[in-house]
Structure 1
């Protein structure tokens, strides 16, 4: 009888053998507890779509009545749903290639909504476009490297999805508590965190390229 694999082992396998940090281990424990309750009956694809709808609601809360404070809990909820879809799929044996595609598309739509939230808060569209373009480029490079034989994700970078969620939540929280922004810089919260997101994206791209160089096979596997 094959022993049940731990959350840490499964996460490590999915991320190219990288061991999870204490923060990630705590996150995995929380997701496991949530995925063991009634939510396990919800189809994983529905959880992926729900995460997108929650982010759409966060954008609407700012664009409509102007409630940036509502963005913070909604973005955190979207992050939880983003973790739950994969956890539920694994625990119920419903993980499948199509589900991975749905999850990936939902993540990219979610990234666009995160950018829209920053623009609505006051970020210059050019900075947001640069930040989101880096996300799409990073994920494209990762997908192409995996297609030619790279195991796992190549590298867990500083620009992964949790960082993007945190950046937007901090921008919204700042806009809710101190609308004037950062007087020392003369920047509003939108531009501050759009620049932050872009800078993190540049660093993350560098980390991924190093990971691809380190882990990708030097030649294509032989064909029969």
Structure 2
């Protein structure tokens, strides 16, 4: 299912299309910082679409950034700071690929699934980076499983009719991007002092991710029961 061709240059038209594609979530009605982020993303996406950059290209570049994260973090010392920067860049690209698809009228069902799968691969790569930095493997594995379960529940609930507004939680992907980017940066700063401090910083970051994931999963599960029960 592909919307018609051409580049959508009007912000209101873009916001309307975004709302229709994302369960009724209206960028124009969002809080000021969120609305500003959507507006900046829209203009960036419009520029990329005008020079012929496809949504798939943006998605793949974002995945490549993610796959480099463990390799960079494995260098230890202050290198995890660079890994954190790659996570942040991947997060920006993840916002841009969907925006380019809407702006260029190239939204497809395949792209929706493809993007979601690559997002999960990217997050797995971030957690591997934390493991390489010394975070206990059981904590990394538990956090990864909870993140996957969170997205699986959302996907099944959305297929069953859960609205986009009801399906939001404290553990959304932007939050995971922020925790991972800042966490790896902190690992790098601590790594300049000692590997033990670096491992401790990474453990704190992953623990925060896990805690937010538990709260987010409870919120999402409650929304499913409320809207679909």
Do they superpose with TM above 0.5? yes
Asked if structure 2 preserves the Cα contact closer than 8 Å seen for 1:68 and 1:173, the reply is yes
> Of the candidates 31, 38, 61, which is equivalent to residue 41 of structure 2?
31
Structure 2 CA distance, aligned partners of 1:93 and 1:39? 10
8 Å CA contact 2:120–2:148 kept in 1: the answer is yes
Aligned-partner SS, 1:119 = helix
> Are 2:166 and 1:154 equivalent residues in the alignment?
yes
Residue 12 of structure 2 is matched in structure 1 by 5
Q: Does residue 1:94 correspond to 2:103, yes or no?
A: no
Gaps in structure 1 of 5+ consecutive residues: 219-224
Alpha-carbon shift at residue 22 of structure 1 (Å): 2.4
What CA distance in whole angstroms lies between the structure 1 residues aligned with 2:11 and 2:58?
Answer: 24
TM-score with structure 2 setting the length: 0.83
**Match of 2:126?**
114
Structure 1 residue 8: deviation in Å?
5.2
Q: Higher helix proportion, which one?
A: 2
Residue by residue over 1:167-205, the C-alpha shift from the partner in whole angstroms, topping out at 9 and shown as x without a partner, is 111121112222358x9x997111111111110000000
> C-alpha distance in 2, partners of 1:15/1:121?
38
Task: Please tell me whether the aligned partners of residues 146 and 153 of structure 1 are also in contact (alpha carbons under 8 angstroms).
Answer: no
Quote the Cα distance in structure 1 between the aligned partners of 2:124 and 2:178.
15
TM-score by length of 1: 0.85
In structure 2, distance between residues paired with 1:147 and 1:116? 30
Which residue of the partner structure matches residue 152 of structure 2?
140
The Cα of 1:213 is off from its aligned counterpart by 2.1
Q: Which residue of 1 aligns with 2:59?
A: 48
Tell me how far apart the structure 2 counterparts of residues 7 and 215 of structure 1 sit (CA, whole Å). Answer: 28
Correspondences of 1:57-136 after superposition (within 5 Å): 57-64=68-75, 67-136=79-148
Q: Which runs of 5+ in 2 are unaligned?
A: 1-9
Runs of 4+ with deviation above 3 angstroms = 3-13, 15-19
The alignment's C-alpha RMSD in Å is 2.6
SS of alignment partner, residue 163 of structure 2: coil
**In the alignment, is the contact (CA less than 8 A) between 1:8 and 1:25 conserved in 2?**
no
User: Does 2:220 correspond to 1:208?
Assistant: yes
Structure 1 residues 8 and 91: alpha-carbon distance in aligned structure 2, compared to 1, 3 A threshold:
closer
The aligned residue for residue 3 of structure 2 is none
Deviations 1:12-43 (A, max 9, x none): 55155475232221211221121121455211
Q: Residues of 2 paired with 1:128 and 1:186: CA distance?
A: 15
Instruction: Report the secondary structure of 1:152's partner residue.
Output: coil
Match of 2:4 in 1: none
Aligned length: 213
CA contact (8 A) 2:84 2:185 kept: yes
